[in-house]
Amino acid sequence: MSDMVIAKKEGLYCVPGDFYIDPWRPVDRAVITHAHSDHARVGHTRYLAAAKSKGILLSRLGEIAIDTLEYGDSITHNGVKISLHPAGHVLGSAQVRMEHKGEVWVASGDYKVEPDGTCEAFEPIRCDAFITESTFGLPIYRWQPQSVIFDDINQWWRRNADNRRCSVLFCYSFGKAQRILHGIDPGIGPIVCHGAVEPLNRVYREAGVRIPDTLAVPDIKDKSLYQRALVIAPPSAGGSTWMRRFGDYSDAFASGWMQLRGARRRRAVDRGFVLSDHADWPGLMQAIQATQAQRVIVTHGQIPVMVRWLSQNGLDAGAFDTEYGDDDDEAVTAQQEAASAEASSHA
Protein backbone atom coordinates (compact mmCIF):
# COMPACT_ATOMS: atom_id res chain seq x y z
CA MET A 1 0.00 0.00 0.00
CA SER A 2 1.37 3.41 -0.95
CA ASP A 3 1.62 6.34 1.46
CA MET A 4 -1.16 8.53 0.11
CA VAL A 5 -0.97 10.75 3.20
CA ILE A 6 2.19 11.65 5.11
CA ALA A 7 3.02 13.99 7.98
CA LYS A 8 5.02 17.09 7.07
CA LYS A 9 5.99 20.13 9.13
CA GLU A 10 2.98 21.99 7.74
CA GLY A 11 0.49 19.22 8.50
CA LEU A 12 -0.97 16.03 7.04
CA TYR A 13 -0.18 16.04 3.32
CA CYS A 14 -1.93 14.14 0.53
CA VAL A 15 1.00 13.35 -1.76
CA PRO A 16 -0.71 12.73 -5.12
CA GLY A 17 -3.36 15.40 -4.49
CA ASP A 18 -0.89 18.09 -3.36
CA PHE A 19 -3.13 19.39 -0.55
CA TYR A 20 -3.12 19.36 3.23
CA ILE A 21 -5.69 18.20 5.77
CA ASP A 22 -6.13 20.54 8.78
CA PRO A 23 -2.62 22.02 8.37
CA TRP A 24 -1.10 23.94 11.27
CA ARG A 25 1.21 26.05 9.06
CA PRO A 26 0.03 28.25 6.15
CA VAL A 27 -0.36 26.30 2.89
CA ASP A 28 -1.88 26.87 -0.56
CA ARG A 29 -4.66 24.26 -0.34
CA ALA A 30 -6.21 23.13 2.94
CA VAL A 31 -9.05 20.66 3.42
CA ILE A 32 -10.62 21.37 6.82
CA THR A 33 -12.41 18.68 8.83
CA HIS A 34 -14.05 21.09 11.29
CA ALA A 35 -13.79 24.57 12.77
CA HIS A 36 -12.14 23.94 16.13
CA SER A 37 -9.05 26.12 16.44
CA ASP A 38 -6.54 23.26 16.46
CA HIS A 39 -7.83 22.04 13.09
CA ALA A 40 -8.88 25.28 11.34
CA ARG A 41 -6.31 28.07 11.29
CA VAL A 42 -5.90 31.33 9.43
CA GLY A 43 -3.34 31.92 6.71
CA HIS A 44 -4.13 29.33 4.03
CA THR A 45 -4.63 30.47 0.45
CA ARG A 46 -7.71 28.32 -0.23
CA TYR A 47 -9.95 26.26 2.03
CA LEU A 48 -12.24 23.33 1.27
CA ALA A 49 -14.78 22.25 3.89
CA ALA A 50 -18.23 20.76 4.34
CA ALA A 51 -21.00 23.16 3.41
CA LYS A 52 -22.49 23.12 6.90
CA SER A 53 -19.22 24.29 8.43
CA LYS A 54 -18.96 27.43 6.31
CA GLY A 55 -20.83 29.70 8.72
CA ILE A 56 -18.74 28.59 11.69
CA LEU A 57 -15.47 28.89 9.77
CA LEU A 58 -16.28 32.41 8.62
CA SER A 59 -17.32 33.44 12.13
CA ARG A 60 -14.06 32.13 13.59
CA LEU A 61 -11.53 32.86 10.84
CA GLY A 62 -13.00 35.95 9.18
CA GLU A 63 -13.08 36.37 5.42
CA ILE A 64 -11.30 33.39 3.85
CA ALA A 65 -11.33 31.95 0.33
CA ILE A 66 -13.48 28.91 0.99
CA ASP A 67 -15.05 26.30 -1.28
CA THR A 68 -17.57 23.85 0.12
CA LEU A 69 -18.91 20.39 -0.59
CA GLU A 70 -22.18 18.85 0.48
CA TYR A 71 -21.70 15.58 2.35
CA GLY A 72 -21.17 12.77 -0.14
CA ASP A 73 -20.46 15.01 -3.13
CA SER A 74 -17.00 14.81 -4.64
CA ILE A 75 -14.41 16.71 -6.64
CA THR A 76 -11.24 15.44 -8.29
CA HIS A 77 -7.97 17.28 -7.74
CA ASN A 78 -4.72 16.09 -9.32
CA GLY A 79 -6.29 12.69 -9.89
CA VAL A 80 -7.48 12.31 -6.29
CA LYS A 81 -11.23 12.01 -5.78
CA ILE A 82 -12.12 13.94 -2.61
CA SER A 83 -15.41 13.67 -0.73
CA LEU A 84 -16.49 14.75 2.75
CA HIS A 85 -18.61 12.62 5.09
CA PRO A 86 -20.18 13.27 8.52
CA ALA A 87 -17.91 12.85 11.54
CA GLY A 88 -20.58 13.42 14.23
CA HIS A 89 -18.26 15.74 16.18
CA VAL A 90 -19.69 19.28 15.83
CA LEU A 91 -21.70 21.22 13.24
CA GLY A 92 -20.12 20.73 9.81
CA SER A 93 -17.49 18.24 10.99
CA ALA A 94 -16.31 15.90 8.25
CA GLN A 95 -14.13 12.95 7.44
CA VAL A 96 -12.04 13.35 4.31
CA ARG A 97 -12.24 10.43 1.87
CA MET A 98 -9.45 10.30 -0.72
CA GLU A 99 -9.42 7.85 -3.61
CA HIS A 100 -6.47 7.48 -5.97
CA LYS A 101 -5.77 4.63 -8.40
CA GLY A 102 -8.27 2.37 -6.67
CA GLU A 103 -6.93 2.96 -3.16
CA VAL A 104 -9.01 4.72 -0.50
CA TRP A 105 -7.76 6.63 2.53
CA VAL A 106 -9.94 8.37 5.11
CA ALA A 107 -8.80 11.10 7.51
CA SER A 108 -11.41 11.28 10.27
CA GLY A 109 -10.49 14.52 12.03
CA ASP A 110 -12.29 14.40 15.40
CA TYR A 111 -15.39 12.24 15.71
CA LYS A 112 -17.90 10.55 17.98
CA VAL A 113 -20.30 7.73 17.13
CA GLU A 114 -23.28 8.65 19.37
CA PRO A 115 -25.74 10.89 17.42
CA ASP A 116 -26.64 14.08 19.27
CA GLY A 117 -29.07 16.06 17.09
CA THR A 118 -26.79 19.06 16.55
CA CYS A 119 -24.80 17.62 13.64
CA GLU A 120 -25.02 14.78 11.14
CA ALA A 121 -24.27 11.40 12.71
CA PHE A 122 -20.93 9.69 12.13
CA GLU A 123 -20.85 7.76 8.85
CA PRO A 124 -18.52 4.72 8.69
CA ILE A 125 -16.60 4.66 5.41
CA ARG A 126 -14.94 1.55 4.07
CA CYS A 127 -11.30 2.25 3.23
CA ASP A 128 -7.85 0.77 2.94
CA ALA A 129 -6.27 3.15 5.47
CA PHE A 130 -7.96 5.08 8.27
CA ILE A 131 -6.43 8.02 10.12
CA THR A 132 -8.02 8.20 13.56
CA GLU A 133 -7.82 10.48 16.57
CA SER A 134 -7.19 8.96 20.01
CA THR A 135 -8.13 11.77 22.43
CA PHE A 136 -9.84 9.29 24.75
CA GLY A 137 -7.99 6.25 23.49
CA LEU A 138 -7.78 4.33 26.76
CA PRO A 139 -10.11 1.52 27.94
CA ILE A 140 -11.02 3.55 31.06
CA TYR A 141 -13.00 6.00 28.91
CA ARG A 142 -16.56 4.71 28.48
CA TRP A 143 -19.37 7.25 28.20
CA GLN A 144 -22.85 6.88 29.60
CA PRO A 145 -25.70 7.56 27.13
CA GLN A 146 -26.04 11.32 26.71
CA SER A 147 -29.68 11.15 27.86
CA VAL A 148 -28.41 10.11 31.30
CA ILE A 149 -26.02 13.06 31.42
CA PHE A 150 -28.71 15.54 30.36
CA ASP A 151 -31.01 14.16 33.07
CA ASP A 152 -28.23 14.75 35.61
CA ILE A 153 -27.71 18.32 34.38
CA ASN A 154 -31.46 19.01 34.54
CA GLN A 155 -31.69 17.66 38.08
CA TRP A 156 -28.73 19.76 39.21
CA TRP A 157 -30.18 22.91 37.59
CA ARG A 158 -33.71 22.25 38.92
CA ARG A 159 -32.45 21.70 42.47
CA ASN A 160 -30.45 24.93 42.34
CA ALA A 161 -33.41 26.84 40.90
CA ASP A 162 -35.68 25.53 43.66
CA ASN A 163 -33.15 26.91 46.15
CA ARG A 164 -32.98 30.22 44.24
CA ARG A 165 -29.35 29.65 43.33
CA CYS A 166 -27.81 30.34 39.94
CA SER A 167 -26.37 27.37 37.99
CA VAL A 168 -23.18 28.09 36.00
CA LEU A 169 -22.09 25.39 33.56
CA PHE A 170 -18.64 25.73 31.99
CA CYS A 171 -18.10 24.10 28.61
CA TYR A 172 -16.43 24.83 25.28
CA SER A 173 -18.19 27.59 23.35
CA PHE A 174 -18.32 25.77 20.01
CA GLY A 175 -20.02 22.40 19.87
CA LYS A 176 -20.35 21.43 23.53
CA ALA A 177 -22.40 24.51 24.48
CA GLN A 178 -24.86 23.98 21.62
CA ARG A 179 -25.12 20.25 22.33
CA ILE A 180 -26.03 21.00 25.95
CA LEU A 181 -28.54 23.67 24.93
CA HIS A 182 -30.14 21.22 22.49
CA GLY A 183 -30.38 18.46 25.10
CA ILE A 184 -31.52 20.16 28.32
CA ASP A 185 -35.03 21.04 29.53
CA PRO A 186 -35.50 24.78 28.85
CA GLY A 187 -38.65 24.83 30.98
CA ILE A 188 -36.64 24.83 34.21
CA GLY A 189 -35.69 28.49 33.97
CA PRO A 190 -34.06 31.22 31.88
CA ILE A 191 -30.86 30.38 29.98
CA VAL A 192 -28.07 32.94 29.85
CA CYS A 193 -25.13 32.58 27.45
CA HIS A 194 -21.71 34.20 27.63
CA GLY A 195 -20.74 36.51 24.77
CA ALA A 196 -18.40 33.85 23.38
CA VAL A 197 -21.25 31.35 23.08
CA GLU A 198 -24.17 33.35 21.67
CA PRO A 199 -22.70 34.10 18.19
CA LEU A 200 -22.16 30.37 17.67
CA ASN A 201 -25.73 29.67 18.82
CA ARG A 202 -26.93 31.90 15.97
CA VAL A 203 -24.94 29.92 13.41
CA TYR A 204 -26.42 26.66 14.71
CA ARG A 205 -29.94 28.10 14.57
CA GLU A 206 -29.35 29.29 11.00
CA ALA A 207 -28.27 25.73 10.13
CA GLY A 208 -31.64 24.44 11.39
CA VAL A 209 -30.48 23.08 14.75
CA ARG A 210 -33.00 23.49 17.56
CA ILE A 211 -31.48 25.78 20.19
CA PRO A 212 -33.82 27.19 22.88
CA ASP A 213 -34.20 30.91 23.43
CA THR A 214 -31.24 32.34 25.31
CA LEU A 215 -30.39 35.64 26.96
CA ALA A 216 -27.18 37.63 27.05
CA VAL A 217 -26.04 39.36 30.25
CA PRO A 218 -26.96 42.85 28.91
CA ASP A 219 -30.53 41.57 28.39
CA ILE A 220 -30.98 40.91 32.12
CA LYS A 221 -32.65 43.88 33.83
CA ASP A 222 -34.15 41.97 36.75
CA LYS A 223 -31.20 40.42 38.60
CA SER A 224 -33.51 38.01 40.41
CA LEU A 225 -33.71 36.06 37.13
CA TYR A 226 -30.24 34.73 37.84
CA GLN A 227 -31.61 32.81 40.83
CA ARG A 228 -33.34 30.32 38.52
CA ALA A 229 -31.02 30.66 35.53
CA LEU A 230 -28.64 28.29 33.83
CA VAL A 231 -25.56 30.20 32.67
CA ILE A 232 -23.49 28.67 29.84
CA ALA A 233 -19.94 30.01 29.80
CA PRO A 234 -16.49 29.03 28.49
CA PRO A 235 -13.88 27.75 30.97
CA SER A 236 -11.98 31.05 30.71
CA ALA A 237 -14.84 32.82 32.51
CA GLY A 238 -14.24 30.84 35.69
CA GLY A 239 -12.79 33.01 38.46
CA SER A 240 -13.20 36.20 36.42
CA THR A 241 -14.96 39.38 37.51
CA TRP A 242 -17.71 38.45 35.01
CA MET A 243 -18.89 35.82 37.50
CA ARG A 244 -19.59 38.26 40.34
CA ARG A 245 -22.98 39.31 38.97
CA PHE A 246 -24.47 35.87 39.68
CA GLY A 247 -24.21 36.14 43.45
CA ASP A 248 -24.50 32.77 45.18
CA TYR A 249 -24.08 30.16 42.44
CA SER A 250 -23.31 26.49 41.94
CA ASP A 251 -20.81 25.73 39.19
CA ALA A 252 -20.11 22.67 37.07
CA PHE A 253 -17.93 21.63 34.16
CA ALA A 254 -18.97 19.44 31.21
CA SER A 255 -16.14 17.49 29.58
CA GLY A 256 -14.94 13.97 28.99
CA TRP A 257 -12.03 14.83 31.26
CA MET A 258 -14.44 15.00 34.19
CA GLN A 259 -14.24 11.21 34.34
CA LEU A 260 -10.86 11.70 36.03
CA ARG A 261 -10.92 12.73 39.68
CA GLY A 262 -7.80 14.82 39.23
CA ALA A 263 -9.41 16.87 36.50
CA ARG A 264 -12.45 17.57 38.66
CA ARG A 265 -10.22 18.54 41.56
CA ARG A 266 -8.15 20.94 39.46
CA ARG A 267 -11.28 22.62 38.15
CA ALA A 268 -12.52 23.15 41.72
CA VAL A 269 -16.18 23.07 40.64
CA ASP A 270 -19.20 21.72 42.50
CA ARG A 271 -20.07 19.17 39.81
CA GLY A 272 -18.42 17.46 36.86
CA PHE A 273 -20.55 16.11 34.01
CA VAL A 274 -18.84 13.54 31.79
CA LEU A 275 -19.92 14.67 28.34
CA SER A 276 -17.56 14.55 25.37
CA ASP A 277 -17.81 15.29 21.67
CA HIS A 278 -15.07 12.70 21.04
CA ALA A 279 -15.50 8.94 20.83
CA ASP A 280 -14.78 6.89 23.93
CA TRP A 281 -12.72 3.68 23.77
CA PRO A 282 -15.61 1.47 22.58
CA GLY A 283 -16.59 4.16 20.06
CA LEU A 284 -13.08 4.34 18.65
CA MET A 285 -12.93 0.56 18.30
CA GLN A 286 -16.41 0.49 16.71
CA ALA A 287 -15.47 3.17 14.18
CA ILE A 288 -12.18 1.55 13.23
CA GLN A 289 -13.76 -1.87 12.80
CA ALA A 290 -16.57 -0.45 10.65
CA THR A 291 -14.06 0.97 8.13
CA GLN A 292 -12.63 -2.54 7.53
CA ALA A 293 -9.28 -0.78 7.05
CA GLN A 294 -6.21 -2.98 7.38
CA ARG A 295 -3.97 0.01 7.99
CA VAL A 296 -4.76 2.44 10.83
CA ILE A 297 -2.75 5.56 11.62
CA VAL A 298 -3.30 7.11 15.05
CA THR A 299 -3.01 10.82 15.82
CA HIS A 300 -3.35 13.17 18.82
CA GLY A 301 -4.17 11.59 22.14
CA GLN A 302 -3.24 8.22 23.62
CA ILE A 303 -1.20 7.11 20.62
CA PRO A 304 1.07 4.37 22.06
CA VAL A 305 -1.77 2.49 23.77
CA MET A 306 -3.96 2.48 20.67
CA VAL A 307 -1.15 1.54 18.30
CA ARG A 308 -0.17 -1.36 20.56
CA TRP A 309 -3.77 -2.56 20.90
CA LEU A 310 -4.49 -2.36 17.17
CA SER A 311 -1.24 -4.13 16.30
CA GLN A 312 -2.03 -6.92 18.76
CA ASN A 313 -5.37 -7.31 17.01
CA GLY A 314 -3.83 -7.89 13.61
CA LEU A 315 -3.89 -4.43 12.05
CA ASP A 316 -1.02 -2.56 10.43
CA ALA A 317 -0.98 0.29 12.98
CA GLY A 318 1.24 3.35 13.09
CA ALA A 319 1.15 6.98 14.14
CA PHE A 320 1.44 10.54 12.86
CA ASP A 321 2.91 13.27 15.03
CA THR A 322 0.53 16.23 14.81
CA GLU A 323 -0.17 19.53 16.55
CA TYR A 324 -3.83 18.79 17.17
CA GLY A 325 -5.12 18.79 20.71
CA ASP A 326 -7.64 20.32 23.04
CA ASP A 327 -8.43 24.03 23.42
CA ASP A 328 -7.41 23.76 27.05
CA ASP A 329 -4.33 22.69 29.00
CA GLU A 330 -6.58 20.36 31.02
CA ALA A 331 -6.38 17.91 28.13
CA VAL A 332 -2.62 17.55 28.32
CA THR A 333 -2.55 17.15 32.10
CA ALA A 334 -5.46 14.71 32.08
CA GLN A 335 -3.98 12.63 29.27
CA GLN A 336 -0.72 12.32 31.18
CA GLU A 337 -2.60 11.36 34.33
CA ALA A 338 -4.69 8.74 32.53
CA ALA A 339 -1.68 7.29 30.71
CA SER A 340 0.18 7.00 34.02
CA ALA A 341 -2.78 5.17 35.57
CA GLU A 342 -2.98 2.84 32.55
CA ALA A 343 0.73 2.07 32.77
CA SER A 344 0.47 1.37 36.51
CA SER A 345 -2.38 -1.07 35.93
CA HIS A 346 -0.10 -3.15 33.66
CA ALA A 347 2.99 -2.91 35.87
> Among 201-210, 270-279, 323-332, which stretch is predicted with the lowest mean pLDDT?
323-332
Question: pLDDT above 70 covers what percent of the chain?
Answer: 93
Q: What is the mean pLDDT of residues 44-55?
A: 97
Q: Which of 16-30, 89-103, 324-338 has the lowest mean pLDDT?
A: 324-338
What fold is seen in the domain 146-273? Rossmann fold (3.40.50)
Cβ contacts of 241 within 8 Å, gap of 6 or more: none
Phi, psi of 95 (to 5 degrees): -95, 145
Q: Record the pTM.
A: 0.92
**CA 116 – CA 105 distance, rounded (Å):** 26
Give the CA angle between residues 153, 285, 302 to the nearest 5°: 80
- Taking the C-alpha atoms of residue 334 and residue 315, their distance in angstroms, rounded to an integer, is 28
Class of CATH domain 5-141+277-345: alpha beta
Do the Cβ atoms of 82 and 75 come closer than 8 Å?
Answer: yes
Radius of gyration of the chain (CA): 21
Which is nearest to 103 in space by CA: 124, 130, 74, 134?
A: 130
Tell me if residue 110 falls in helix, strand or coil: coil
Q: Using pLDDT thresholds of 50, 70 and 90, give the confidence band for residue 340.
A: very low
Maximal C-alpha separation, the chain: 65
Banded pLDDT at 329 (limits 50, 70, 90): very low
- Cβ burial of 195 (10 Å; 0-12, 13-18, 19+) is middle
Tell me what the mean pLDDT of segment 112-129 comes to: 97
Reply yes or no on whether the pLDDT at 125 is more than 70.
yes
Q: How confident is the model at residue 326 (pLDDT cuts 50, 70, 90)?
A: low
Mean pLDDT computed over every residue of the chain: 92
Locate the domains of the chain by residue range.
Answer: 5-141+277-345, 146-273
b/e per residue, 23-41, with b = 16+ CB within 10 A? Answer: bbeebebbbbbbbbebbbb
d(CA 296, CA 316): 6
